[in-house]
Amino acid sequence: MSARRPWAKPLVPVYAAVLAAKDALRRMGVPPTRKLSWPVVSVGSLSAGGAGKTPVVIALATILRDAGWKVDVLSRGYGREGRGVERVVASPGKQVPRYARNDNQNSKSNDKSNGTSKGDRTSDGGGKDFSAAKFGDEPVLIARRTDVPVWVGADRFLAGEQAEKDAAEGTRGLHLLDDGFQHRQLARAFDVVLVTAEDLNDKLLPEGNLRESFAALQRADAVVVRAEEMEGISKQVWPLVREGAQIWTVQRKLRFPAPLFVFGAGLRPVAFCAIARPEGFASMLTEAGCGIVETVAFRDHHAYTMADIDRVIEVAKGMKATGFVSTEKDAVKLTAAMRERLEAFGLLMIVALEAEFVDGQAVLRAIEAHLS
């Protein structure tokens, strides 16, 4: 890819020098690394966003939970209002609504089928969505999708300590550290790093979107690549990883609330999202046969306002759209009033961006062997 901010190219050597200085200090134990009682499995990336970490965290949490591990997730909670340590509370047992129509009969049936009603949303009915604002959009989504404890805090060590204190006495658990590859002040037993084809041609910050160069893959125990990019990436990544590291493959997919034909042949939605790589979401929708007519993109983690919703609706009117499609990550930030305004115009369809390991059992065996 071309540089995102070519005007910042002169600053890249400065950024690289700072990285090198920090790395040298870490090798000398400055700042000291802190270690939790439970093992930590970190999930991170080289890029500053858009690699697909959240779906992979959800997939790993599910695999480990189903294997009997007492797993929790530690997250910074990017975009949240506070910095202290808190456990995410996000409508326990309720799933993000999948879709709603602007007629009463279908709205009722959809609410019932998805185990959700308008009263389930953690909202003031027209202002903030308390869950996403308080904890961050990604931690709320992880908590809802996995049903494992999710803890947020600027200090992930303190978050991990609190998670261990909160667990039943004698519990031997495991922490998943969300976006933890560069958070090296917290010791980890296993480092999982996502790499995308886009990363291969990217530049270091601030010119590009890479937090670190590919030399950092020497710290990785496993590298995760997308199935459709495996052939092109593996040849370039294998020489960069240390001996014994593994490459895991994930298949990305969109999970729609129902087969697209259910929504009719004339489906013409406007896509809107606040994620790092909106063009990827738009491409996946198009490949799935969802005939989007326009994409309205907001900054990653953006907190929606009514003005934003009005803007999306105006675009839909101009494009003669029949409704809207967005992601689960965005859905956790929509208040009841925002949903109602969108649904008054047309269909609101929420889709899940999912990652599934091609060989989940091999992933589990690798982690457990490393922890034993």
**What residue numbers does the annotated binding site for ATP cover?**
47-54
CB 297 within 8 A of CB 278: yes
Q: Measured between alpha carbons, how far is 367 from 70 in angstroms, rounded to an integer?
A: 14
The secondary structure of residue 48, as a DSSP letter, is S
Which tokens is 188 given? 């980890």
SS3 track for 104-153: HHHHHHHHHHCCCCHHHCCECCCCCEHHHHHHCHHHHHHHHHHCCCEEEC
- In terms of Cβ atoms closer than 10 Å to its own Cβ (0-12, 13-18, 19+), residue 91 is middle
Number of C-alpha atoms within 13 angstroms, CB side, residue 2? 3
Number of C-alpha atoms within 13 angstroms, CB side, residue 134? 15
Euclidean distance between the first and the last CA atom of the chain, given in angstroms as a whole number: 41
What's the one-letter identity of residue 71? V
Q: Measured between alpha carbons, how far is 75 from 336 in angstroms, rounded to an integer?
A: 26
The C-alpha torsion from 310 through 137 and 299 to 178, rounded to 10°, is -170
Q: Which residues are annotated as a binding site?
A: 47-54
